A and B are shown apart, each in its own frame.
Chain A
Amino acid sequence: MDISQFFNFFYSRSLLDIIFKIIVICLSLFYLLYSFIISKQVKIMDKSLHDEFNFVIFAVCSIQTTIAFILFIFSIFFA
């Protein structure tokens, strides 16, 4: 590979796409971890303050974790 090919690779579309994919996977993984932490923390919060409507909060946390997982899978295969 000569020097011009090297620079062409760095300015090419494919490299940008690879960088984008890596960023998207990292972000979706981070979001998945975040949603797990929030779910775990909500259980602790529920012990501190238990209300009859807390099931709604648990439901939202479950939806968030499910979406985060789907997003992670999508980012691996479709980004």
Chain B
Amino acid sequence: MENNNISESKVFFSYLTNPKIKFETYEPTEKIILLVRSHPFTQIYWIINVFVMLLFIFVVNSVIINYFNYAQILFVNIFAVFFILSYIWFNFLNWYFNVGIITNKRVIDIDFFNILYKEITVAQLDKIQDVTTKSGGFIEAFFDYGTIFVQTAGTEANVEFANVPMPAQIVQIINNLLAKKHGH
């Protein structure tokens, strides 16, 4: 499946094989094998928050109607709706651009903390010593997601893919690449 060049996406665009993407340090000779994002289920907390905020607007509307005129109520509602839309957009961007990339040369983790802070961690395949996966609990087992730790030799930074879908397959892909790299 991963050996052909057909792009395929699974689990709501959180597991993409052979994706047509480019990243900052992309080399033309490099082949992108896999791109992973956090499992969509891990984003449920902010989706629930959105519904709570919508409910809050209804409650606030019933209270402020006695104190403000119609134009003011309209502005309060416009701001509330824009606040919620911005919250959705902010969280979506956070999810969309926090990715893990596996190429035929290296493993890359691109993280944006609150959109503003960027952190890119790279582990060359020949420096990788160990790949482990952590997946525990009923929900993680049910939705098949977990965290992958890629440990590297020496002072090289370790790479972590948090809450990614199908962790076992990802570990298998990395192990296959390592075996090819080391000629096993």
Contact = CB atoms under 8 A, between A and B. Distances in A.
Interface of A: 17, 20, 24, 27-28, 31, 34, 37-38, 41-42, 44-45, 47-52, 57, 60, 64, 67-68, 71, 75, 78-79
Given A20-B68, A57-B93, A49 B23 contact: yes
B110 interface: yes
A51 B101 CA distance: 13
A12 B112 CA distance: 48
Interface residues of B, number: 26
Given A28-B79, A45-B97, 14 more contacts: A20-B75, A31-B82, A38-B89, A48-B24, A48-B97, A48-B110, A49-B21, A49-B23, A50-B22, A51-B20, A51-B21, A67-B82, A71-B78, A79-B72
B34 interface: no
A31 B87 CA distance: 12
Nearest to B78: A71
B116 A41 contact: yes
A56 to B, nearest CB: 10
B51 to A, nearest CB: 21
